[in-house]
Structure 1
C-alpha cells in the first residue's frame, strides 16, 4: 500500500511545478517563488512517504522472517521431542526386556536350587554313611585350605 504522504507530496510537487511555470511565463516572481516552494514541499513530503513505505516494507519482511524462524524452531523442537519420546519408549522396552530376563533367570535358578537340594536330600537319605564320610572329607579339605592361607 502506498503511503498517503507520497500521493499528496507528488500532487503538491506537480502543482508547485505548474505554479512556478505559470509564474515564469507571466513574469510573477511571487508565483514563481511560491510554486518552487510548493514543489520543494511536495518533493519533501513525497520522500517522507517513500521512507515510511520503505520502513513499513522492511518491518513486514522482518516480521515474515521472524515468523518463518519461529516456525522452523517449532518444527525442530517438535522433531526433537518426537525423537526423545521414541528414545524413551525404546529405553522402556529395553528395561522391560531386561526385567523379564532377570525374572526368568531368577525362576530358573530357584528351580535348579530346589532340584539340587532334593537330589542331595535323596542321596543323603539313601546313603547316610557315605554322605557322612563325604561331608567329613569336605570339612577336612576346607580346614586345610583355611590353615594354608594363615601361613
Structure 2
C-alpha cells in the first residue's frame, strides 16, 4: 500500500521542477526560487511517505513474527503437557515423589533455611 504522501510529494516535486525550469527560461528569479522550494517540499513529503510505508511494513512483519512465536509456543506447551501426562500415567508414584521434591525445593527458596 502506497502512502498518499508519496504521491502528492511526487506531484509537488514535479510541479516544482517545472516551475523552476520555466523560471530559468524566463529569467524570473522568484519563480526559480519558489519552484526549487516546492521541489524540496515534494521530496520531503515523498520521503515521509516512504518512511511511513517502511514503518507499516516493519509493523506487519513484527505482527507475523509474534503470531508465529505464539503458535510455536502453544504447540510446545501442548506437546509438553502430553509428555508429562504420559509419564504421570506410566509411573504415578515417581511423579508424586518428583512433585513433592519440587515443592520442597520451592519452599526452601521462598522461606530460606532457618
On whether the aligned pair clears a TM of 0.5, the verdict is yes
Structure 1 unaligned segments of length 5 or more: list them: 95-151
Q: Could you tell me which runs of 5 or more consecutive residues in structure 2 were left unpaired when the two chains were aligned.
A: 95-114
Deviation at 1:47, TM superposition (A): 0.5
Aligned equivalents of 2:89, 2:15: Cα separation in 1: 76
Kindly indicate whether structure 1 or structure 2 has the higher relative contact order, using CA contacts under 8 Å at least 6 residues apart: 2
Match of 1:142 in 2: none
Q: Does 1:76 align with 2:76?
A: yes
Secondary structure of the residue that 1:2 maps to in structure 2? coil
User: Could you tell me which residue of structure 1 aligns to residue 25 of structure 2?
Assistant: 25
Q: Which runs of 4+ in 1 moved over 6 A?
A: none
Question: If the length of structure 1 is used for normalisation, what is the TM-score?
Answer: 0.59
Distance apart, 1:39 and its partner CA: 0.2
RMSD: 1.3
- TM-score w.r.t. length of structure 2: 0.77
Q: Which has the larger radius of gyration?
A: 1
Number of aligned positions between the proteins: 93
